[in-house]
Structure 1
């Protein structure tokens, strides 16, 4: 193979010379970024696993013991030391600070009367009225019904807005009707 000198370039060589593509293209940058993110996602959990002390919950340092009473031995039974009170002499309250254990207060009856009146008023309150719905259309073994909260497509066995179940969808005298488990029948409104 013969090397050409740089000084001697003829017109034929200029036509065959192609520019070199740039190394950092947006596609390559995006590809290497994705590879880097995938590698980080694969190795970061292992880094956390092997360095638990850097990522774990930090527990506040403090005194985790409690003074037990200076009493003699007791029978063995399961009681948490945290549930026991400290009965040392120096921690006991002075005799003048002891609470009065005699109950001397009275309780008013006014609150009970008001509470009884409210309870009596609740008993006299009427039950809410029955929810009603109307039959709009019947097709393919299903019925379209409507009540105050919307329209529903129901079939035999479905729960209706009045908490009854749809038991029958049938055609009588050329008119469709539905029958519920409460015994009511509904005809489409015209």
Structure 2
């Protein structure tokens, strides 16, 4: 008789069964079973041997008590109130006054109305920003903190607003709400 397709398939299956499982598959299966057994066993081991897995106490039962002294008064003293200041300490103190104190008497602050001139008070010192470039209705300004793009109505670093951008004599000019004029370099 001749060999049929059925006989050829049967001989192939018999060869595979004879070789069995490769050694690497056996090793991987054994490793997986062993890890599963350890994962099951370890929590029980830690539960029954808690003394081996706890954190040691910090002071081994000894405590530290605070001394039985009366409380001390703590005062915060301004450096300007110190009487024995040397030249180095005086130089380290900023002498620039940057705030105002409302009047305690019967002035406008006591009546609940704020004075009008206090609203337009500028920040101390010069703002130090300059106009770098103007394009498409926006201006690029620079100060010590960085560069900013502003447009008409934006608040500037000196707490004024950008009123207008104009071109005068071929150079761009920025006019603020305070009336200050900044020219592009």
TM bracket, shorter-chain basis: 0.3 to 0.5
